[in-house]
Chain A
Amino acid sequence: MKKRILALTLTFALAASVLAGCGGDDKKEETKAPETQAAGGDETQAAGGDETKAETEAAAPEGGESKGVIKLGGLAPLTGQYAEYGKGFDIGFHKAIDEINAAGGVNGYTFEIDIKDTQSEPVTTSTMATAFAEDDEIMALLGDFSSGACKATAQICDSYGILQLSPTASASDYAAMSKYFFGIMGRQDVEAPFLAKYVLKEYLKAQKIAVIRVDSDWGKSCYDNFIAQAEKEQLDVTVETYATGEKDFSSLITKMQAENPDVLVVMDQGDPVADIFNQADAAGWKIQHVALGPGTSEQVVGRLNDKDNLIVTSPFFFDPDDAELTAWAEWFQGEAGFAPTIHPACAYDCVYLLAEAVKSIDGEVTRENLRDALANLPEYTGVTGSIKFEEDGDIKRNYMICGIEGGEWKVLEGFEFGAAGF
C-alpha cells in the first residue's frame, strides 16, 4: 500500500512539474474568463458567479454585438536556455490581450491565447505549430523566439494557410520564406552592417576586430551580413564560433587574446554575452566590449562584472524621460521580476498589430483575411516605435548606439548617427 501511495505521489509530482514547465501558462485562465464572457460563449455559464458577471459588463465588446473569440497560438521558450525571453513573451502577450479585452475587444471580437513551450527548438516549434494549425479555431501564430525556430514552420504555415507573427526573428531571410511569415524585430541585414560601419569604424574607430559568435542560424546570418560590410570598411576581422549552450569560453578568449584586437564583439543573445565578457575580464583582458543581439538588456547589465565597458546596437530604448514607457517597464518588472528588454515589448506590440488587423476586417475574420489585413496594415506606432511591414512581411528598423554608464543604459548616439545608411 505504502509503495502504491509513493508511486502515485511521484507520478503526480512528475506530471505536475512537467506540465508546469511545458505549459507555463498561469494566466491563461485569468485571461480567458472575462474574454469568453465577453464573447457570450458557453464557458460563461460554467464560470458563473456575480464577480464574473460584473467583469462581463465591464468587458462588453466594442461596437455592441459580440462576434466571438479570436484564438491565437503562442510559441515561446518557456523553459530551456531562452526561458527568460519566453517568460517575457508570455507576459507581453497576456498584457496586451488583457488590455484589449478590458477595453471591449475589437470589432466585437475578444482575444485569447494558448502558449506552448517550444524551448525555441525548431523540431518542437514545428510540432507545436502543427498542433495549432490543425485547430481551426486558432487564427494566427505568435512567436517563436529564435529565427531558426521560426523558420522551421514555413511549410506548416503555407500548408495550413495560417500567419506567423514573430516578435523577435531577425534573420534577413526569415519573412521571405513564406507569405504567411511576419516579423517586427528588424533585420540583421541592417543591424549587422550598422555595427560594422557606424559602431566599429566610425564611433570606436577600431581596425582590428575579434568576433566571437554563436554557431546557429541567427549567428551565421548576423556574421555574414556583418562581414560583408566589414570588408567594405576594410576592417581586419578574426572570428571564432561556439555551440549553443556553451558555458566555457576561456579557451576561445585565450585564442582571441593572442590576436591582440582593438575590440571584442560578441554576437549572441542573453546569457552567453555576459559570460563571455565576464570570462574575458577574469582573464585580465582589457578590451572594449561590443555586442550584437542583446540590445539594451537589463539582464546582461545585471550579470556583467565590468558594467561600463559595453556598447550595443539597439532599435529601441526605455527612455526614463518617457512616462508611458517607464510605466510599462515598471509594470513589466513587477510581473516578471526582471527588467524588460525589447523582446517582451515586441511581443506586446504583436498582439496590438493583430488587433489592428482585425479592426480593418469587415465581416468574419478568417486566417486568410487576417493575413491579408496584417500585410496591408498602415504604419502603426507601438511601444517599440514605428512598424510598417515591407512586401516580404518584415520591417526595417533604425538603430542607435547605446552603452552603459554608471550601471545604466544610455544612448551614446541616436538614430541620426546612422541616418546616412550604407
Chain B
Amino acid sequence: MEYILNQLINGICQGSIYALMAIGYSVIVGVVGMVTFTYGEIMMIGAFSSYYIFTGLSNNLPLAILGAFAGSFIIGSIVYKLCYERFFNAPRHISLLCTIGISMLIKNLAQIVFGPDTKPVLNVIDNTTFTLNLFGANLNIRLLQIVVIVLVIVFAVALTLFFNKTKWGVMLRAVSQNKDASYLMGISVKRTALLGNCIGCGFGGIAGILLALYYGSVSATMGASYSTKAFAASVLGGLVDIRFSALGGLCIGIIENMGIIFTSATFRDVFAFAFLILILIIRPQGFVSKKGARV
C-alpha cells in the first residue's frame, strides 16, 4: 500500500510536468492550427536558459523561470517566422517539414553551442522529504515534488485566466476557433498566432526548467522523448483543449509510474502509448467532448 501510494506521488509529479508540456503544445496547435516538431527543442532551450541563470546568478528560481519563459518565447517567435507565417495558405505538410528541419537545426546548434555533455542542475531546491501518515501508510513526498506540482497548478491557472479575462486572451481564443471570422472582426490573425505560438513555447520553456529541476540535469538532446509525450498528452486532450490536454498529461504520468509496479521501467512507454491507443479506440476525439472546446 505504502509503495503504491509513493508510486502514485511519483506519477502525479511526473504527470504534472507532462500536463504543463501538453498545455503549451495545445496552445500552439490551437492558435497556429498546425502541429509542431520543434517543441522538444523549445523545452531544451528553456532548460538551458535556466541552467545558465542558475550557474551565473545563483539558484534564483523565479528569475530562472522568467529566463526559461523568455528564452523559449524568443525561439518560438523565430520558429513562427520561419515555419508558419509564410506558409499559412500552403499545404500543411510544408510547415510540418519546416518544423522537423528547424528541430534538427536547433538540436545540432545546441550541441555545438552548449556542448555535448550533460550539465548538472543540483541543489536548487532543498533536498527535504516530508513523511505523511495516510491510513497507516507512510507517504514520502519531496519538497521538489511539491514545488513542481504547485508551479504547474499556478501556471495552468494563470494561463486560463489570461485566456478568459484579457483582451489578448479573447483574441487568441477567437483565432483558435475561427481564423477567417477573427480576421473579419478586425483581429490581426498573424500577430495573434505569433503571440499564441510564443506563449505556447514559453510554457514549453517552463516545462523544460521543471524537467531540469526534477531530473537534475540538462542536455542538448533531452527534448526528443518529451516532445513525444507532450504530443501524446495533447492528442489525449483533443489536441487543442488545454484543460483536457493537462488531464491527458497527468494520466500518462500516472499510468507510466503505476505500470512500473507490475513490470520493469523498460516498458513505461508501452504503458503510456497503450493507454493512448486504448482511449483513442474508445473515444477518437480524446477526452474532449465531441463538440470540441478550443483553447
Which positions in A face B, CB cutoff 8 Å?
Answer: 3, 6, 10, 13-14, 17-18, 20-21, 78-81, 83-84, 86-87, 215, 240-243, 245-252, 254-255, 258, 270-271, 274-275, 278-279, 281-284, 299, 302-303, 305, 337-338
Contacts and interface: CB of A to CB of B under 8 A. Distances in A.
Contact of B108 (A17, A250, A274, A338): A17
Contacts of B144: 282
Interface residues of B, number: 49
A86 B127 contact: no
Given A21-B112, A258-B3, A279-B215, A243 B10 contact: no
A355 to B, nearest CB: 28
B14 A250 contact: yes
Contacts, number: 132
Interface of B: 2-3, 6-7, 10-11, 13-14, 82, 86, 101-102, 104-105, 107-109, 111-112, 115-118, 120, 122-123, 127, 129, 140, 142, 144, 211, 214-217, 219, 221-222, 225, 256-257, 260-261, 264-266, 268-269
Contact of A251 (B82, B215, B257): B257
B215 A242 contact: no
Contact of B116 (A86, A241, A255): A86
A17 B82 CA distance: 16
B230 to A, nearest CB: 14
Contacts of B3: 254-255, 258
Given A274-B217, A337-B115, A241 B105 contact: no
A24 to B, nearest CB: 9
| Closest 6 pairs between A and B when the two form their complex, measured CB to CB | A83-B116, A21-B108, A284-B129, A17-B108, A242-B265, A303-B120
Given A241-B264, A279-B215, A299-B117, A13 B105 contact: yes
Given A254-B6, A303-B217, A17 B116 contact: no
B216 A278 contact: yes
A243 B266 CA distance: 4
A240 B3 CA distance: 16
Contacts of B225: 245, 247
Contact of B104 (A18, A241, A303): A18
Contacts of A215: 264, 266
A240 B217 contact: no
Contact of B14 (A6, A18, A248): A248
Given A245-B225, A278-B216, A84 B265 contact: no
A240 B118 CA distance: 24
Main secondary structure of the interface of B (DSSP, over half): helix
Contacts of B257: 250-251
B127 A240 contact: no
A18 B221 CA distance: 14
A79 B216 contact: no
Contact of B217 (A6, A17, A275): A275
Nearest to A239: B264
Contact of B111 (A10, A83, A275): A83
Contacts of A20: 108, 112
Interface centre among A10, A17, A270, A275 (most CB of B within 10 A): A17
B260 A251 contact: yes
Contact of B215 (A81, A87, A275): A275
A18 B242 CA distance: 34
Contacts of B105: 13-14, 17-18
Contacts of B111: 21, 79, 83
Given A242-B264, A275-B215, A284-B142, 19 more contacts: A13-B105, A18-B104, A20-B112, A78-B116, A79-B221, A242-B266, A243-B265, A245-B225, A246-B268, A250-B10, A251-B11, A251-B268, A270-B118, A278-B122, A282-B127, A283-B140, A303-B118, A303-B120, A305-B127
A3 B90 CA distance: 14
A81 B10 CA distance: 25
A13 B98 CA distance: 13
Contacts of B104: 14, 17-18
B108 A251 contact: no
Nearest to A78: B116
A141 to B, nearest CB: 22
